[in-house]
């Protein structure tokens, strides 16, 4: 992989627009300001993107796909070890991954909690899609745990899934809100608590 020093125009638009959409929000951001920072005229942006919405969702989709890819890699690592360990490694791996680039997760949280009216329908559709893909990856491991009797059968897979996701998300929100950094020991402890509550 070649290290790119000079970003091309499209990359510069995306990286600057990301910052604005994160910090100012969709409505408060405007094409002119973004283009001023990129050092092009506003009309040039429409060579790359058909609209402000189009630009926004290029960024949004990239982040979601990256998240999915990483989760998938974690889920498929150590294929031959216990599914309980693999689930724990996914949890700990995702939390570490989030903490390395928390602003991207803050971006997603912003548009999930407070979707602007103009793009709320599309956001909702995409949220459902990506959330479903995420569920499938996690559910696969949960089902493996169930089959191996590592999870007692007191809960249905979907209930366990909800507990897992809620805990992962609340941990992420804490990192966003308080800048929490977890040591490996804290991560281990945190995972044990979650695993236990999936088994209660």
Partner DNA sequence: GTCTATAAGAGGATAGAC
Partner DNA sequence: GTCTATCCTCTTATAGAC
Distance of alpha carbon 138 from alpha carbon 74, whole angstroms: 10
Nearer to its own copies, 170 or 192 (CB): 170
- Name the binder of 51 from its own copies, DNA, none, CB < 5-8 A by kind: DNA
Comparison of 24 and 124: residue with beta carbon closer to its own copies = 24
Q: Which stretch binds its own copies (CB under 8 A): 3-11, 51-59, 110-118, 136-144?
A: 110-118
Among residue numbers 27 through 46, which ones bind DNA (CB under 7 A)?
A: 29-33, 39-44, 46
Inter-axis angle of helices 102-113 and 9-23, nearest 10:
60
Q: Pick from 51, 81, 112, 177: which binds DNA (CB under 7 A)?
A: 51
Does 37 interact with its own copies (rule: CB under 8 A)?
A: no
Report how far residue 146's alpha carbon sits from residue 144's, in angstroms, rounded to the nearest whole number: 5
Q: Does 178 bind its own copies (CB under 8 A)?
A: yes
Nearer to DNA, 46 or 129 (CB): 46
H/E run at residue 55: helix 52-76
| Contact predicate 94/74, CB 8 Å | yes
SS3 at position 127? helix
Helix (H, G, I), strand (E, B) or coil at 116: coil
120-147 helix and 102-113 helix, angle to the nearest 10 degrees? 120
The contact mask relative to its own copies for 111-150 (x = CB under 8 A, - = no) is --xx-xx---------------------------------
Contact 60, 45 (CB under 8 A): no
Both structure tokens of 17: 């627009």
Judged by CB under 7 A, which stretch of 25-33, 61-69, 78-86, 153-161 contacts DNA?
Answer: 25-33
Tokens standing for residue 179: 């800048």
Kindly tell me which of 32 and 147 has the beta carbon lying closer to its own copies: 32
State the binding partner of 129 from DNA, its own copies, none, CB within 5 to 8 A by kind.
none
How far apart CA 163 and CA 153 sit, in angstroms, is 15
For its own copies, the binding residues (CB under 8 A) are 24-25, 27-28, 109-110, 113-114, 116-117, 166, 169-170, 173-174, 176-178
For DNA, the binding residues (CB under 7 A) are 9, 29-33, 39-44, 46-47, 50-53
């Amino acid at each position: 992989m070649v290290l790119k020093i000079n970003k091309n125009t499209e990359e510069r638009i995306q990286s600057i627009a990301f910052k604005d959409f994160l910090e100012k929000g969709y409505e408060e951001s405007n094409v002119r300001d973004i283009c001023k920072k990129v050092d092009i005229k506003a009309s040039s942006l429409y060579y790359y993107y058909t609209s402000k919405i189009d630009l926004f969702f290029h960024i949004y989709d990239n982040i979601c796909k990256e998240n999915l890819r990483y989760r998938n890699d974690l889920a498929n690592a150590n294929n031959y070890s216990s599914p309980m360990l693999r689930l724990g490694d996914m949890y700990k791996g995702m939390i570490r991954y989030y903490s390395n680039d928390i602003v991207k997760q803050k971006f997603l949280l912003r548009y999930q909690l407070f979707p602007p009216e103009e793009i709320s329908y599309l956001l909702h559709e995409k949220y459902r899609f990506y959330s479903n893909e995420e569920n499938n990856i996690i559910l696969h491991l949960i089902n493996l745990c169930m089959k191996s009797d590592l999870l007692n059968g007191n809960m249905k897979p979907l209930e366990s899934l909800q507990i897992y996701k809620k805990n992962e998300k609340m941990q992420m929100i804490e990192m966003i809100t308080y800048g929490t950094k977890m040591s490996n020991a804290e991560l281990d402890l945190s995972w044990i608590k979650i695993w236990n509550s999936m088994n209660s």
